[in-house]
Amino acid sequence: MTIYTRFTRIFGATIAASALTTSIASADSITLRGASLFDEEHAYTKTLRQFEKLVSENYDGEIEFDLRLNGELGDESDFVTFLQQGVAIDYAIMAPSNMATFAPSIPLMDMPFLFRDLAHWNTALSSGVMAPLEAELLDKADIRVIGYAGGGVRNLASADAIANIDDLTGHKMRVMGAPIQAQIFSAIQAAPSAIAYNEVYNAIQTGVIAGFENEAASIQNLKFYEVAPNITLTKHAITVRPIVVAEKTFRKLPEALQTAVLEAGVEAGAFGRQLESSQDAEKMQQMIDAGQVHVTEFAGREKLLDMVIPVQDAYAAELGATDLLNAIRAQ
């Protein structure tokens, strides 16, 4: 979609493309377009709905939201391009590891085995410790973090059961696009490849890969259990999912709306974290009860930690982010 169509869509066909060069503060009504990979039932969509509600409540002007669901606008690797260019999408929830192309250090915040437990994850996300990564994203990608959602625990999901390191060795699995994801899964002996999220189902079904890793809410929502019904409790990540806005859009908003967006982002993020983390076990149980998944403990999870820590350290050192990594670990 061109910038022209994007902006005429926002303001109606009567507004010419030249409106782009002026501030949109003068527009009577503003429509912001959001994107979610999921339907109304998923915590991401509920979080974005909460964001919209809070902005509407806190802003006196006319504001409308056009939230596109079910991956209508692509998957997160498409979202990040649109957000960076300031076209087609104004707000979304994104995995940092799907934003690596534009800001190489942002995936540090969602690399596997970063958080010890939910308490550590919660403290880190409310501490402001991620600020340098947010600054890099804003600077390099023109994408602004306004809050943190997430809270699902990521586990392996595969066509055949995986119980231990022997089963994991050489296991062909999909990982998110950031190189650190492949490095970490290689370190624990798997054979990872980066595949677009919307191709994962077919890739497992056709045997191109044997599995992937994901959280319960998304496995359930997108019915991944149909092709990958074996869940192995590696509990390797608690998701960090920033709510982001396109800075090119944000800059053009009236100041009062900018304030409302920033406040709503923080609050909606807290709402989303609470929702997704509290539903995680419940969603897994629903899939177990429905006979959709079979869950296995992973024997020797502590050994995985020993294997990945040097990889995390090397990645942070390469980015010049050793102090930051230590600060996150120390939360």
Binding residues (CB under 6 A) for ligand MAV: these are: 37, 76, 95, 98, 176, 197, 214-215, 218, 239, 241
Give the phi and the psi of residue 145 in degrees, each rounded to 5: -85, 125
**Sign of the four-CA dihedral 135, 141, 146, 147:** negative
Of residues 220 and 230, the one with the C-beta less far from ligand MAV:
220
- In angstroms, give the least distance from the CB of 221 to ligand MAV: 8
Q: Let me know the angle formed at the C-alpha of 117 by 112 and 120, rounded to the nearest 5 degrees.
A: 100
- In angstroms, give the least distance from the CB of 166 to ligand MAV: 25
Of residues 239 and 312, the one with the C-beta less far from ligand MAV:
239
Name the residue whose CB lies closest to ligand MAV: 218
- In angstroms, give the least distance from the CB of 17 to ligand MAV: 33
Instruction: Quote the tokens at residue 228.
Output: 């990958």
- In angstroms, give the least distance from the CB of 241 to ligand MAV: 6
- In angstroms, give the least distance from the CB of 176 to ligand MAV: 5
Distance CA 17, CA 55 (A): 27
Is 143:246 a contact under the CB 8 Å cutoff? yes
- In angstroms, give the least distance from the CB of 62 to ligand MAV: 31
Q: Tell me the three state secondary structure of residue 144.
A: strand
Distance CA 208, CA 211 (A): 9
Of residues 76 and 267, the one with the C-beta less far from ligand MAV:
76
- Non-local (6+) Cβ contacts of 7 within 8 A are 15, 17, 19, 20
Of residues 155 and 230, the one with the C-beta less far from ligand MAV:
155
DSSP assignment of 126-181: HHTTTHHHHHHHHHHH-EEEEEEEEEEEEEEEESS---SHHHHTT-EEEE-SSHHH
Distance CA 206, CA 182 (A): 21
For tokens 């990540």, the residue is 237
For tokens 């930690």, the residue is 305
- In angstroms, give the least distance from the CB of 228 to ligand MAV: 12
Of residues 98 and 230, the one with the C-beta less far from ligand MAV:
98
Of residues 171 and 252, the one with the C-beta less far from ligand MAV:
171
Of residues 5 and 202, the one with the C-beta less far from ligand MAV:
202
Amino acid at 87: V
